[in-house]
Structure 1
Amino acid sequence: MTERQIVGTLHGVAIEVAAWDGSAAQVDLSCACMFTKELGRDVPVGGLAHLDQALGGALVQLRAAGLFSAEAGATLLLDQPPPAVAARALLILGQGSPTGWTARALAPAVQCAVSTALALRVRSGALAPSMLDSGLDARQTGGAPAAMVTGLAAALALYARLRSLGLAGDAALERWVFDAGAERFSGAVAAFGAALASNGS
């Protein structure tokens, strides 16, 4: 049974941590980050590798062909994933080069992911940062939960403001999940809970 825990709420959206990866996330929109390359290896490992395998190797192939650059800000929306993917749709978020990357880059990525979920009017979404899958180490991944919560809060606050101005309808989004490896689940729950508390959740 997959470990899952609600760690707070923001703007009426329940925020969870779950011990699954992008291919197994049981949500409407599963999002995963991808870099232009991996550090110390030729292909990703872990959850990002599982997702690529579920897609028949399409992610690595599209990146190698230059069709999806995976540069920071690049996005790839797949609205007909194969049965091996649990979610109804996938969003891949480019993170650029892993060399010199810091966790601050996750804030705009998560903001983009949540904004896309709101625009698509899905009820649930999840995001896998794919940092360790891409060869990054603890020096680069420090502060990731806080950065991700910052991006989440920014997207939800913007949408709430648009609603107050009469420029957007009621949000369909009810649940947002941050993916974590099973061995890191407890630490992730604590870190995201603290980040949400600092954000005023």
Structure 2
Amino acid sequence: MGTGIRRRAVATAAVALSVLAAWVPSAPVAAATTVSVWIQTLDACNQTIGGVGLSLAAGGAATVRVVPNSASRAIGGGCPAGRGDCTGASPSGCAVFSLTPPARGTQTYTVQQLSVPGGYTACDGGSACLGEVANFTLDQSGDVLGATVTDTLPDGVVTTQPASGGSFAATAGDPIV
């Protein structure tokens, strides 16, 4: 076989393998697992509240949930509550968001209260509150990082929960409150 024929045969084989490689389906990609992020709505004196509308937003997209109505129950730990509790068969005042971790890096989320049931004011700081938001970051492994709640009081003072300086785990046992 001459040199020209060998080159054409090698080139033809290379093209055939390229076409075959493009045609063969790749291995299926595993479905991304979701992470449950728990949020509990409490009044200023540790009572759970149902019927609260919450918005969870990241990158311009938002998801809205209404916390199911259920019998209010007291959550211990001072006033306002430093930690919540969404464990048990029928957790009171709790909403859960199922999130898919980012493929790479992190994604920051903001949770805002959209509405409250009758008889309640929309924040813990008083009737002239400017607003309360929760922020957290979800990393590619599904870990919730730095979950805190910031409340701007009527006098402009900003408070952050948990007061311990740590962050909420956003689990059923340590929901964002």
* Both proteins in one fold, TM over 0.5: no
> Rg larger in 1 or in 2?
2
Greater RCO (Cα-Cα under 8 Å, separation 6 or more) = 1
TM-score normalised by length of structure 1: 0.27
If each structure's helix is expressed as a fraction of its own residues, which one has the higher value? 1
If each structure's strand is expressed as a fraction of its own residues, which one has the higher value? 2
